[in-house]
Structure 1
């Protein structure tokens, strides 16, 4: 792929879907860790997808993951678990480490697609996060200095940091496939924007290729290579994500179908069965049981 094709698009309209509150953060610890702390792999209360963000400001940490892997972190670093995964942070004997820790929730129809291709674990030294220095400095100032509205301010800054981190992942090619990998190519970014802005539109492969400014065959191959699935499968995944969100909001199946781009409840049910091995009602019952 050419350098031009790899450069992220600078058109903000292409990323308008992220305004839909696809991600949020809740800081639950800021201070000095002495000893060890375990983090489970369950969802944070009230969320359906969760992860953890740890920011090591000072000190040395040992990071142990659920698969038994151990990693020593000696530089100020960002540690991101984009999905729920058990892990442990531990300091050296009689030593401390200054940390800010947050629960992350990824919601909305874009969540699944946003996380696809993002490494389960990212450990990035803070000094390599180009352009994030002022944000990190402000975050640490707020986190370690009690003041009016501190918790709200810290959560908002972490959310800003997350958006900028996603930009960093796009620019540095840290995702091998998925939505973020596609956004690194301006041609595919235009197509992804069209899909997310008009998920119910009847966009065929020729129309999508025209949006990308590519031939039909070149577009189909480039999309599959970068995103990991075909344009049709991507659109189906997005539509079913919209349907799941609407079902969780309590909307009836007949009303959900057109919102997700399906002509009838029967067509939506068939798509659910193919994708998830169960119908919409069975899926919804399972979700309610999981959160009971």
Structure 2
């Protein structure tokens, strides 16, 4: 497996079209909506504003990506027409995907800085103006591909200096992380992860904490519990989920789950069903 495949296989990426065309009214998002946002500015000038930050004015064709749900508003800011394509983006339910933990701030990139995605973006804009049958479905699928290309670009250019994206951008940490993501049920220890990274145990532990923002053992636990929540929601038995994510017994799994969620897996699942 490569650095991104396990995330995309285990946490489903979905894009849902929200807007296509002239930005007449502001596009607003609330944290409670539970989805990220992808915007493509084709022409015109827009202003992006969010709580606690200065408003950002974009005057050239640009991409804006909120990986996590955050309150913000995008509005037209020029005299002429602003054409925008907007989509809601979801990486699984809730905040289970650790990939999102390193993406707290929106990515704002001029389209000219993404030459490798030019053909894809051109196809998106062509489809956006075609008004042919199935247009919304095509735009959503192309938006999903664009998000993957954007995540790849963020790793290649090391756009993040902390969190999972930063770890996947680090050649040594990426080897350990990719192995853990591919086989969470394996008996991972700090020594085994360090060996995957080609580092000493102490050096790996220090470097992992610095780049990722938390110790390796804590990250492993959070990755396993995130997967477990998805498996539980799919209807798997608690005992089977415990084995699937690397715990030898339901008791040890329950303790790890409670350390992250504050409640037992059974109580969490019951609450999840009640909310649904």
Shared fold, TM over 0.5: yes
**1:280 aligned onto 2:269:** no
The size of the alignment, in residue pairs, is 275
**1:135 aligned onto 2:94:** no
Partner residue in 1 for 2:109: 124
What is the CA–CA distance in structure 2 between the aligned matches of 1:85 and 1:167, rounded to whole Å? Answer: 22
**1:173 aligned onto 2:126:** no
Partner residue in 1 for 2:92: 107
2:5 to 11, 16, 22: 16
Once the 2 structures are TM-superposed, how far is the Cα of residue 252 of structure 1 from its aligned partner?
Answer: 2.3
- Structure 1 segment 37-48 matched on structure 2, within 5 A: 37-43=27-33
Q: Note if contact 1:30-1:100 (Cα within 8 Å) is conserved in structure 2.
A: yes
Closer/same/farther in 2, CA of residues 38 and 207 from structure 1, 3 Å limit:
closer
Once the 2 structures are TM-superposed, how far is the Cα of residue 112 of structure 1 from its aligned partner?
Answer: 2.2
Once the 2 structures are TM-superposed, how far is the Cα of residue 68 of structure 1 from its aligned partner?
Answer: 6.3
Q: Note if contact 1:171-1:184 (Cα within 8 Å) is conserved in structure 2.
A: yes
- C-alpha RMSD of matched pairs (Å): 2.1
- Structure 1 segment 212-223 matched on structure 2, within 5 A: 212-223=197-208
2:26 to 19, 36, 41: 36
Partner residue in 1 for 2:50: 65
Higher deviation after alignment, 66-75 or 97-106: 66-75
What is the CA–CA distance in structure 2 between the aligned matches of 1:37 and 1:235, rounded to whole Å? Answer: 37
**1:182 aligned onto 2:167:** yes
Once the 2 structures are TM-superposed, how far is the Cα of residue 149 of structure 1 from its aligned partner?
Answer: 2.7
Partner residue in 2 for 1:269: 254
Unmatched segments (≥5 aa) in structure 1: 1-11, 44-48
Deviations 1:5-63 (A, max 9, x none): xxxxxxx64443144153221122110112433333333xxxxx411111111001122
What is the CA–CA distance in structure 2 between the aligned matches of 1:76 and 1:198, rounded to whole Å? Answer: 41
Closer/same/farther in 2, CA of residues 218 and 110 from structure 1, 3 Å limit:
farther
Once the 2 structures are TM-superposed, how far is the Cα of residue 179 of structure 1 from its aligned partner?
Answer: 1.8
Deviations 1:215-236 (A, max 9, x none): 1122112211111122211111
Deviations 1:62-95 (A, max 9, x none): 2221346422221211111111122222224764
Secondary structure of residue in 2 paired with 1:30: strand
What is the CA–CA distance in structure 2 between the aligned matches of 1:130 and 1:207, rounded to whole Å? Answer: 39
2:231 to 246, 264, 272: 246
Once the 2 structures are TM-superposed, how far is the Cα of residue 109 of structure 1 from its aligned partner?
Answer: 10
Closer/same/farther in 2, CA of residues 287 and 140 from structure 1, 3 Å limit:
same
TM-score between both structures, scaled by the size of structure 1: 0.87
TM-score between both structures, scaled by the size of structure 2: 0.91
